[in-house]
Amino acid sequence: MAKKKDLDMMDSSAKVKISRGERIFNVFNIIILSLFMIACIYPFWYVICASFSKNTLLMGYRGALLVPQGFSLAAYARVFGTAAIWKGYANTIFIVVVGTALNIFMTLLAAYFLSRKNLPGKTFITVMIMFTMYFSGGMIPGYLNIQQLGLYNSTWALILPCALNTFNLIIMRTAMSGIDASLEESAMLDGAGHMTILWKILVPLTKATIAVLVLYYGVAHWNSWFSAMIYLKDANKYPLQMILRKILILSDLTDAGIGNDDAEMVAETIKYATIIVSTVPILALYPFLQKYFTKGVMVGAVKG
């Protein structure tokens, strides 16, 4: 449909003479958007350049960086040699994989229930779920709850409390509600149970939405650091973001094997190299996944 609209527009814009005002607007539009793009990209470019620079030259450099100052891989050598970063990567990957699998499982179950019609108790459960979007116990009761459940200092404290996200659940429910009910009804008549209908009919038909949710949940797990900070005591269990926080925010470079003496030598470039090493995997995946992300928002845009 979108394609058809574009064709229509091109068609008519070819026929209708473009006024002077419109032409000026087009030029300004392109300039504004180009500036915005530069603003979006430049910080990344700066980080890349800085990470490859020689630390001493970088420290002395003033103004906008357009190319690396000198060329040095010393910072990367340090970052790749930092065991804590790899340990953090491993922990994060575990959390992302297990957490996302659980998320999808729970979301499918909940969305299936909420997309059924005429089920007794549905209103009650819907209200119970929706209410949590607008009201919560807050940080401290949540924290005490984790302690009471015996999850403190466990990786599961980062996975179980966010086993389901209500926003994502609404996206999934919307997708399932959009599927022709006659398919399910005929399957019912053939004797299919609810589980069969969910796995054999609804899951294949909502694959695109599921892919979107995998991305949403995965990115959320990847980025999460606050729960790790408050629920984990043992630094060995820290996800990558907590290691990054230590190196980048607290400027504690002891993990990278840098004491206070030689900190000056590479400290700045190490930070930039750490940003690159931790961000490139997700940015590299992103162009391939972009269309799913976009699709997801479009599904979610439909009123819940």
Partner 1 sequence: MKREKGSARTAVAKPKRDWSKFRKIIWKNRAVYLMILPVVIYYILFHYKPMYGVIIAFQDYNPRKGVAGSTWVGFKNFIDFFQGYYFTRLLANTLKLSFATLIFGFPVPIILALLINELRSKKFSKMVQTITYMPHFVSMVVLCAMIRQFVAQDGFINQFFQLFGYSGKNMLAVGSLWIPIYVISNIWAGAGWGSIVYLAALTSIDSELYDAARVDGANRWKQTIHVTIPCILPTIIIMLIMRVGQIMGIGYEKTILLYNEGIYDVADIISTYVYRIGLLNREFSFSTAVGLFNSVVNFTLVIIANQISKKTTETSLW
Footprint of partner 1 on residues 10-69 (CB under 8 A)?
12-13, 16, 19, 21-22, 25-26, 29-30, 32-33, 36-37, 39-41, 43-44, 46-47, 59, 62-65
Footprint of partner 1 on 149-188 (CB under 8 A): 149, 160-161, 163-164
- Least Å distance, CB 260 to partner 1, is 19
81 Cα distance to chain centroid:
27
- Least Å distance, CB 142 to partner 1, is 5
12 Cα distance to chain centroid:
40
Q: How far apart are CA 300 and CA 304, in angstroms?
A: 8
Footprint of partner 1 on 229-258 (CB under 8 A): 230, 241, 244-245, 248-249
Footprint of partner 1 on 283-302 (CB under 8 A): 283, 286-287, 290, 293-294, 297-298, 300-301
Q: How far apart are CA 44 and CA 129, in angstroms?
A: 39
Question: How crowded is the C-beta side of 143, counted as CA atoms within 13 Å?
Answer: 10
- Least Å distance, CB 59 to partner 1, is 7
Q: How far apart are CA 161 and CA 236, in angstroms?
A: 21
Largest interatomic CA distance in the chain = 76
Q: Cα–Cα distances in Å, from 16 out to 2, 5, 10, 28, 29?
A: 21, 16, 10, 21, 20
Q: Out of 24, 83, 101, 145, which residue is the one contacting partner 1 (CB under 8 A)?
A: 145
Which of 40, 189 has the CB closer to partner 1? 40
Question: What binding mask, one character per residue, do residues 256-275 give for partner 1 by CB under 8 A, x or -?
Answer: ---------------xx--x
Contact 227, 158 (CB under 8 A): yes
- Least Å distance, CB 107 to partner 1, is 9
- Least Å distance, CB 157 to partner 1, is 11
Question: Under the criterion CB under 8 A, does residue 217 sit at the interface with partner 1?
Answer: no
**# residues contacting partner 1 (CB under 8 A):** 104
Read off the tokens for 6. Answer: 């574009």
Q: How far apart are CA 47 and CA 43, in angstroms?
A: 6
Contact 65, 50 (CB under 8 A): yes
Footprint of partner 1 on 98-137 (CB under 8 A): 106, 109-110, 112-113, 116-123, 125-126, 128-130, 132-137
